[in-house]
Amino acid sequence: MKRLLATSALTAALAAGAVLGATSVAGATTTRTHGAATAPAPHHGALAVWLRAHRKAVRQEAVAVSASTIGISRQQLVAELRTGKSIADVAAEHNVSSQRVIDALVTAADAKVHAEVTAGKLSAAHAQAIDARLSKLAAKVVDHVFRPHTPPAHATASAGS
C-alpha cells in the first residue's frame, strides 16, 4: 500500500508535495509499522508527511510520466530541469501543452488510487481526498521552476587541479 499510495497519491501530488514541499490532504493519515507506512485513519496533514517520506518514488514516477508524455527520456527531462526549467518549459520546447502533461499525471495517479480502492488498500474517503487535489497538485508540479544544478565547490576545485 505504501508504494502504491506514494505513486498513486501521486505522481501529481508527487512532485508537488514531495518535490516542492509539504502538501496536506484533510482526511489522510499514515502510521509506521516496522518501517512500512499504512493509511488507516483520517488525519489532517498526514499525506504530506507520507509524501515527504516517499518523495523519491513519487518524484521518479512523476518524471517518468512527464517524460513519456513529452516524448523524451527521463534522463533528458532531468537534465533540462537541472538547468532551471519547469516541466511546462520543457513540454513547450517539444510542442506539448502543459495541460497535456497535467492530464497525464492526473490520469496516472487516478488509476493507481482507484486500483488501491478496488484492492481494499485505500478507503473511498481517502481516494476522494486525493482525487480532489490531483489537478491542482499536478499543475503545481508542472509549473515549478527548478533551481539550476551547480556542482559542490569541492568538486569544481578538484576538477581544475
Asked if residue 159 belongs to a domain, the reply is no
Predicted confidence (pLDDT) per residue in 101-147, tens digit: 999 999 998 988 888 889 988 888 888 888 888 899 999 999 999 88
Asked if residue 155 belongs to a domain, the reply is no
**Rounded Cα distance, 63 and 80, in Å:** 12
Asked if residue 161 belongs to a domain, the reply is no
- The range of the structural domain enclosing residue 130 comes to 2-149
Asked if residue 158 belongs to a domain, the reply is no
Of 54-58, 110-114, 143-147, 154-158, where does mean pLDDT reach its minimum? 154-158
In the chain, the number of structural domains is 1
What is the pTM assigned to this prediction? 0.65
**Rounded Cα distance, 106 and 139, in Å:** 9
